[in-house]
Amino acid sequence: MHRIMVAPMLDWSDRHCRYFHRLLTKKALLYTEMVTTGALIHGDVERHLRYNEVEHPVALQLGGSEPADLAHCARLGEQWGYDEINLNCGCPSERVQRGSFGACLMAEPVLVADCVKAMVDAVQVPVTVKHRIGIDKVESYEFVRDFVGTVAKAGCQVFIVHARNAWLKGLSPKENREVPPLRHDWVHRLKADFPSLTIVLNGGITTSAQVQEQLKQVDAVMIGREAYHNPWWLSQWDGVFYPCGDAPALSREQVEEQMVVYMDREAAESGTPWTAIARHMLGLRHGLSGARRWRQVWSDHKLKERPPREVIALAHRRG
């Protein structure tokens, strides 16, 4: 049972980010950024689905609304070895809305159920749904309760609930993570109303104490932006949230060193510039003396032609 997870974050939780996070926690479930069915059906499958074996357990999040397309892409995800297939019913961006998926799907629970059933019938790995508690400014617990009830009948056993409404008009995706009020109590009510389902709470959690408190009422907690901006927090998770969890195995310096080795390997194997990887670890020394200068060095694109081995030396140079 996964007790804590790192959220799918568009443009952030790519395979380089997940490799970095896996150095910090061995047990947390990691998610890809959302991959649309169109990108997989008409695009470069390897580019979208490639990952590092060390990332397990890792889940693939899909965006789409056509049952047959989602079933096809779920099969691809299973063939590539992902441990879970997740359907995005929570993203409020206008670009996603134009594709008729994401949060706007919450208005069509029967369609979501059809999508879930098609995927459940297509794969052996778990099929899960990530969604909001509602859409627009109408707030009704019954709305999200009925959504979960309808989709659960199609075979979904795990619901990851971002405890805010998604306003489909008038707010940016960033504002949609901050402006609609948090209603953790509604997620708790879902668990009470559906005790046999796995209910995961997402939204507004920034400390281990808050996670522990939520785990008294839900099955698991998903962390998004805080995990990205304060990644060293992840190094506590295995020891705190798992009964037989291990203490963090690596120091900050060792994690950074492992990332340099990874940067060298990625450059040799795929030509990936180290700057595309280093951006994910800029919060590693958050709160420490000298963190600002360290971050400036690792984000300095004037150094992009220098090998990462030289950059790490510059980052730790005194003065």
Q: Report d(CA 81, CA 73) in Å as an integer.
A: 13
Q: What is the pLDDT of residue 99?
A: 62
| Interval 175-180 mean pLDDT | 84
Per-residue pLDDT, averaged over 60-83, amounts to: 98
Active-site entry in 17, 89, 91, 115: 91
Percent of the residues in the chain that have a pLDDT greater than 90, as a whole number: 87
Neighbours of 70 (CB within 10 A): 25
Residue 70, pLDDT score: 98
pLDDT recorded at residue 279: 98
Q: Mean pLDDT, to the nearest integer, of 115-136?
A: 97
Q: Do 69 and 40 form a contact (C-beta atoms < 8 A)?
A: no
DSSP string computed for 248-262: P-S-HHHHHHHHHHH
State the chain's mean pLDDT as an integer: 94
Note if 91 is an active site residue: yes
pLDDT band with cut points at 50, 70 and 90 for residue 116:
very high
For residue 147, the surrounding DSSP H or E stretch is helix 141-152
Query: Above 90 in pLDDT, residue 102?
Result: no
Taken in order of first residue, the domains within the chain and their CATH numbers are 4-241 (3.20.20.70), 252-315 (1.20.120)
pTM: 0.95
Least confident of 3-17, 34-48, 174-188, 286-300: 174-188
Q: Please determine, for residue 207, whether its predicted confidence score (pLDDT) is greater than 70.
A: yes
Residue 98's pLDDT band (cuts 50, 70, 90) = low
CA quadruple 31, 32, 33, 36: dihedral sign: negative
Instruction: Report how far residue 283's alpha carbon sits from residue 299's, in angstroms, rounded to the nearest whole number.
Output: 11
pLDDT digits (tens, 9 = 90+) for 231-254: 999 999 999 998 775 655 799 999
